[in-house]
Amino acid sequence: MLRADSLTQLGPQRPALIYLNSPSNPTGRVLGVDHLRKVVSWARDRGVLIASDECYLGLSWEAEPLSVLHPAVCDGDHTGLLAVHSLSKTSSLAGYRAGFVAGDPAVVAELLAVRKHAGMMVPTPVQAAMVAALDDDEHEAVQRERYAKRRALLLPAMQAAGFTVEHSEAGLYLWVTRGEPCRDTVKWLAERGILAAPGEFYGPAGAQYVRVALTATDERIAAAVARLS
């Protein structure tokens, strides 16, 4: 496996699969349509499969993320493309381990053939919960509004406390830095009763960042804002 943030970092190598993540966890970065088209074109020229993690697609704030399956990205051709979705984020079904894959029918068929022998069956109650969630857009809109209000409070409070907020155009987190080792930032926040995830947990590029979640209750977010000020 090779970690790369651009195609040029791959050099002459031809991977079997490229795994995209937009909107990104932990950074909240959203890849634009031109970027996605370039990746799709590059992969198809080389016969490389693309799997696109789109679990935060419905939680955008400052950008409009697109699925790799969107016609503007793939021109309506899903060959060699997979979109990976989870109900953990938009529908708050994290404990259910519920999600799905869509895209190239031939690749999906291969996944099904492997999974029925190597994977566990999704429990019937979980499948029923997935159907209910996917049939209802209202609960997703309500939850999205909750996150938006929390973000509107927490983001300026972090900035006023001396943090730089980078990316964070979508998703359930703020990706912030004070230009110091992330463990020092985690300690500084903990001394004020605020828990954050050290960026180095997500890879070496996060060494000076922390991830602050919007998933606490409204009351806890308000308390964090007060403590930051």
Q: Any idea which fold 7-134 has?
A: Aspartate Aminotransferase; domain 2 (3.40.640)
| Whole-number Å distance between alpha carbons of 85 and 80 | 17
Are 56 and 140 spatial neighbours (Cβ–Cβ below 8 Å)?
Answer: no
pLDDT of residue 18: 94
Q: Name the 3-class secondary structure at 174.
A: strand
With tokens 């989870």, the residue in question is 86
Angle 152-99-54 from CA coordinates, rounded to 5°: 50
Indicate the pTM of the whole model: 0.90
User: Which tokens sit at 214?
Assistant: 């919007």
Architecture of domain 138-228: Alpha-Beta Complex (3.90)
Q: List the pLDDT tens digit at each of the 229 positions of the chain.
A: 556 666 666 667 788 999 999 999 999 999 999 999 999 999 999 999 999 999 999 999 999 999 999 999 999 999 999 999 999 998 989 889 889 999 999 999 999 998 888 877 889 999 999 999 999 999 999 999 999 999 999 999 999 999 999 999 999 999 999 999 999 999 999 999 999 999 999 999 999 999 999 999 999 999 999 999 9
User: Which tokens sit at 44?
Assistant: 């198809």
Cα–Cα distances in Å, from 31 out to 24, 42, 52?
9, 15, 11
Residue count of the chain, please give it.
229
Q: Please list the residue range(s) of the chain that carry CATH number 3.40.640.10.
A: 7-134
Query: Which of 69, 99, 74, 105 lies closest to 87, judged by CA?
Result: 99
Q: Please list the residue range(s) of the chain that carry CATH number 3.90.1150.10.
A: 138-228
| Whole-number Å distance between alpha carbons of 200 and 207 | 5
pLDDT of residue 6: 61
With tokens 């919960």, the residue in question is 129
pLDDT of residue 85: 95
Q: Where are the alpha helices (DSSP H) in 91-217?
A: 105-118, 124-134, 138-160, 182-190
pLDDT of residue 117: 84
**Amino acid at position 12, single letter:** P
